[in-house]
Structure formats: C-alpha cells, structure tokens
C-alpha cells in the first residue's frame, strides 16, 4: 500500500508525527458508502466515454461493492498511513485488481472526491434531519386535541401577559420547526450539485462526461466553475447553520420546559424516563435531558463558528485546512439528531399539571388587555383605555382581588360607558374566547390551525 507521500517525487519518508497529525481516516471513514458510490459512478462514466473498457469498469464496480460489504460488516481494516477514506478504499481496490484498480483515479482528484462525498453524505443527512423535525412536529400536533381546553399563561419579559390555549404553544414550536424544514429544503438545492469532475481544480484533459456522473449520483446540476467548486464549502456551512437554528429552537423549548417542570411553575411533568436523580438529595427528579439539549446547543453554535473561521480568507482553491470541516459537521449532525429524537419522546410523553396551572391562572391580570380592548370597542381611544384599565388594575392590587371581583362602582368611576356587561368578558376563560384576529389564540382559530397542521403532516 502506497500513500502519495511515500513514492514518486518524495525522496525522504515523512516525519513520524506527520501521519498522525494529518490523517482524517479516524473520522472521514463515515463517508465510505458515499465514496464508493461516487467511484462506481465515475468508473461507469469512464467506460461510457471509452476511457475504460466495460470489462475494466465491471471489475472495478464489482470489487468496490465487495469492499463496501466488508466495511459494512466491520471486516475492513482502515490504515492511518493511507491518510483518508479515499486512499484507503482505492488502495484496497488496487490490492485486488492491480493495474485495473490503478486506472480508477483517471480524471479526478481527492479534492473533488471529498467534496462529492460530503455532498452525498449531507444530502442523506438533510433528509434524516427533516424526518426527525417532522416527527417532532407530529409530537406537538399530536398533543393538541387532548390539551385543547387547557388555558395557560403566556409571558413577555417573563411576566404574565395574556392567556393562551396550550395548543397555541405547541403550534408555536411546530411553526418554528417548519421554518427549519424550509431552510433545509432550500439548503438541499445547493448541496445537490455535482462537483465530481473538477479534478484538482482546473478540470481535466480526459474526455469525461460530468452530466453522466451527475445523473448517476442523483445530482440536480453540475457545478459550472472548477475553481469555485473545489474551494466551495458554502453548502456545508449552510447546513451547519440550519442545524444551529434547530438547536436554538430546541434550546428555547428545553429552557421553557425546565422552568415549567419546577415546583415554582409546576405546569408540566417531564416523563421520568427522561429525568435523572441526584446522588445526594433523595427527592430530586431532574430534567437532565432537557438541560443537556439546552447545553449541547453551545457546541453546535461553536461548530458553526469554527467552520466560519476555517474558511475565512482561504485562498482559492483547495487547501488542506478544509479537512477540518468534517468533525465539526459530524458533531453538529449527531448532536442535533439525538436532541430532536429525544425531544419528540419528551413532548409526546409529558403531562400538563392542569390543576396546578388552574390554581393560579387568574393571578397576574391576564384579562386586563381584553378589558382594555372592550373599552376601545365602546369608543374610548386606546391610550385613554390603557390608562383607565391600568388604574383599575392598581385598584385591584390594592384590594388584593381580581378585576372580576371589583364592584361595578369601581368600573363606572374610571369610565361611565362601563356597565355590568363588563363581567361577561372578565376572567381568563372569557378573555381567551374574546380573541378574534388571524393567528391569535382564539379557540376557533387554534382549532383551525390544528386541522391545517394535521393535513400538512398527513395525520388526517
Ligand atoms: N482528507 C482530505 C480532506 O478531508 C481529502 C482531500 C485531500 N487532498 C489533498 N490534496 N491532500 O479534505
């Protein structure tokens, strides 16, 4: 087995430390299936254009399929001396086929191999990310019917603001993850471009047929500029960004549910299978999985940052620096995929503590804004109504009671257009029913949205 730095122009062996420092096989072995798929397409194309005989191409593709089987079964010995996944597989091929194997690398370089492998790998990975996002959306939408009558406080500045239906929260996350799915679909278009055939960077004198290869690999387009594409990692950084956005959304959710599962809130019970205990405090059931989903967001953000810094100011075209992209990418994918999968199970299995939510639901004047809008409806300008209801809230605070418990005199004292019909709109339940606008938490609106989501996610 020969590596490119053990023969030819080299007259001294590389320093012993260099192999360990420069190898990528310890992580890029994850690209083996894509590498072999790309090589098979390349060999078949070379036969189509007459650079290989069809018998040579058949020998190569058969041997590559056997090598893939060995790797699948764990029977293949990767060798660090051979640097990367591309050299390991090619060497195994040459070992089997001799000179026929030595012909495979005609008209291509490792630079376009690594780019093609990454594109093929990311394309599959994007499809898996999308499946996991959909599974999570289904978990949220799946809760909506059972929770449709549950009213919860919603917050701004972490202060009680307005009442909402629990499914309004669930669909809020469903929307966020839908945008992530759209970002993925858009990113996938730029991933799904064939880079194979740019050779080292300038193209090749061999009469290759790049359309042929692209079609075999299911790519939608062929990259038009060989310098551009051999230096391009935009598609990889873009995917890392979409993964970061997903991690951000998961982190917001996890943070909320950690709070909600505290004694202080007592809104929700995270299933015990997704909690762990304390080594000292016997009573503890900690939401560790949610905490770690929040915590691991840090590394996903860090990976994106590393990638952005990695490509900054790199001269065209390929530079070995680019090898550093894969560990960051794999780590983000693994972290986000595991987090998405766990989140779906937690969302599905959690129970709302309805009693405890209801116990304090009338605290915090969640109906104050509805009351203000009721006054606006009676002809009072918004600024005035805001001021008047503010003073009513002050009065209720003084009396340590709710707005609905104030006597009618207090209402008429601030605005004489108020009469006893005011009590028909006070209280959290009535406040929720009073919402009208599109996208609001009005029960009718939320039910329509649930129906829409069920259709969109093919649940009905
Ligand atoms: N292991 C390299 C990478 O991941 C593959 C390309 C190496 N090309 C080269 N000319 N040394 O980027």
C-beta atoms surrounding 419 within 10 Å? 11
Residue entry with tokens 């679909």: 185
How far does residue 115's CA lie from ligand 1's centre (Å)?
A: 9
Domains of the chain, each with CATH number or no CATH: 17-106 (1.10.275.10), 111-149+165-351 (1.20.200.10), 368-456 (1.10.40.30)
Instruction: Spot the catalytic one: 7, 11, 12, 157.
Output: 157
d(CA 363, CA 401): 9
Segment holding 443, helix H or strand E: helix 443-456
Among 4, 9, 23, 24, residue to substitute to test ligand 1 (most atoms within 8 Å of Cβ):
24
Residues 356 and 260: beta-carbon distance below 8 Å: no
Structure confidence at residue 2 (pLDDT): 58
Asked if 157 is an active-site residue, the reply is yes
d(CA 332, CA 31): 16
**pLDDT, tens only, 168-182:** 999 999 999 999 999
Among 88, 89, 90, 323, residue to substitute to test ligand 1 (most atoms within 8 Å of Cβ):
323
**pLDDT, tens only, 311-324:** 999 999 999 999 99
d(CA 148, CA 130): 27
Q: What is the ipTM of this complex?
A: 0.96
User: Which pairs with CB-CB distance under 8 Å and at least 24 residues apart come from 379-382?
Assistant: 379/417, 380/415, 380/417
**pLDDT, tens only, 70-81:** 999 999 999 999
Q: Is the CB of 251 under 6 A from ligand 1?
A: no
Q: Per-residue confidence at 16, pLDDT binned at 50, 70, 90?
A: confident
Residues 377 and 309: beta-carbon distance below 8 Å: no
**pLDDT, tens only, 344-365:** 999 999 999 999 999 999 999 9
Q: Is the CB of 422 under 6 A from ligand 1?
A: no
Work out the mean pLDDT of the chain and round it to a whole number: 96
How far does residue 165's CA lie from ligand 1's centre (Å)?
A: 54
Ligand 1 atom with the smallest distance to the CA of 114 is 5
Q: Is the pLDDT of residue 1 over 70?
A: no
Q: Which of 332, 350, 242 is nearest to 290 (CA)?
A: 350
Q: Is the pLDDT of residue 426 over 80?
A: yes
Q: Is the CB of 28 under 6 A from ligand 1?
A: yes
**pLDDT, tens only, 203-233:** 999 999 999 999 999 999 999 999 999 999 9
Structure confidence at residue 410 (pLDDT): 97
The predicted model scores a pTM of 0.96
Q: Is the CB of 343 under 6 A from ligand 1?
A: no
């Amino acid at each position: 087995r020969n590596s490119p730095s053990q023969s030819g122009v080299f007259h001294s062996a590389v320093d012993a430390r260099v192999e360990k420092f420069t190898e990528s096989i310890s992580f890029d072995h994850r690209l083996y299936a894509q590498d072999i798929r790309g090589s098979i397409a390349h060999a078949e194309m070379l036969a189509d254009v007459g650079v290989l005989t069809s018998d040579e191409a058949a020998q190569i593709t058969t041997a590559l399929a056997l090598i893939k089987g060995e790797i699948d079964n764990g029977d293949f010995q990767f060798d660090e001396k051979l640097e990367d996944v591309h050299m390991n597989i090619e060497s195994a091929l040459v070992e089997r086929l001799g000179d026929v194997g030595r012909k495979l690398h005609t008209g291509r370089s490792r630079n376009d191999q690594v780019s093609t492998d990454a594109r093929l790998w990311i394309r599959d990975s994007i499809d898996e990310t999308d499946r996991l996002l959909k599974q999570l959306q289904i978990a949220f939408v799946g809760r909506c019917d059972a929770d449709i009558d549950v009213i919860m406080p919603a917050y701004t500045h972490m202060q009680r603001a307005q009442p909402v239906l629990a499914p309004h929260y669930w669909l809020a996350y469903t929307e966020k993850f839908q945008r992530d799915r759209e970002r993925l679909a858009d990113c996938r278009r730029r991933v799904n471009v064939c880079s194979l055939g740019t050779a080292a960077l300038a193209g090749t004198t061999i009469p290759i047929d790049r359309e042929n290869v692209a079609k075999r690999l299911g790519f939608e387009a062929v990259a038009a500029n060989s310098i551009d594409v051999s230096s391009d990692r935009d598609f990889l950084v873009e995917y890392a960004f979409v993964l970061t956005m997903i991690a951000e959304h998961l982190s917001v959710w996890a943070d909320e549910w950690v709070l909600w599962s505290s004694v202080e809130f007592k809104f929700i019970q995270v299933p015990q299978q997704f909690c762990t205990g304390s080594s000292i405090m016997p009573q503890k059931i900690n939401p560790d999985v949610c905490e770690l989903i929040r915590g691991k967001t840090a590394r996903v953000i860090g990976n994106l940052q590393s990638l952005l810094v990695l490509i900054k100011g790199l001269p065209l075209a390929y530079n070995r620096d680019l090898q550093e992209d894969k560990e960051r990418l794999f780590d983000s994918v693994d972290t986000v995929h595991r987090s998405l999968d766990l989140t779906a199970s937690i969302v599905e299995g959690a129970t709302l503590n309805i009693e405890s939510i209801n116990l304090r639901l009338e605290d915090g004047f969640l109906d104050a804004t509805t009351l203000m809008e009721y006054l606006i409806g009676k002809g009072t300008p918004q600024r005035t109504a805001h001021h008047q209801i503010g003073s009513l809230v002050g009065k209720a605070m003084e009396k340590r009671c709710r707005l609905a418990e104030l006597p009618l005199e207090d209402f008429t004292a601030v605005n004489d257009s108020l009469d006893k019909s005011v009590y028909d709109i006070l209280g959290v339940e009535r406040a929720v029913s009073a919402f009208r606008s599109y996208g609001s938490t009005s029960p009718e609106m939320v039910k329509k949205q649930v129906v829409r989501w069920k259709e969109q996610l093919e649940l009905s």
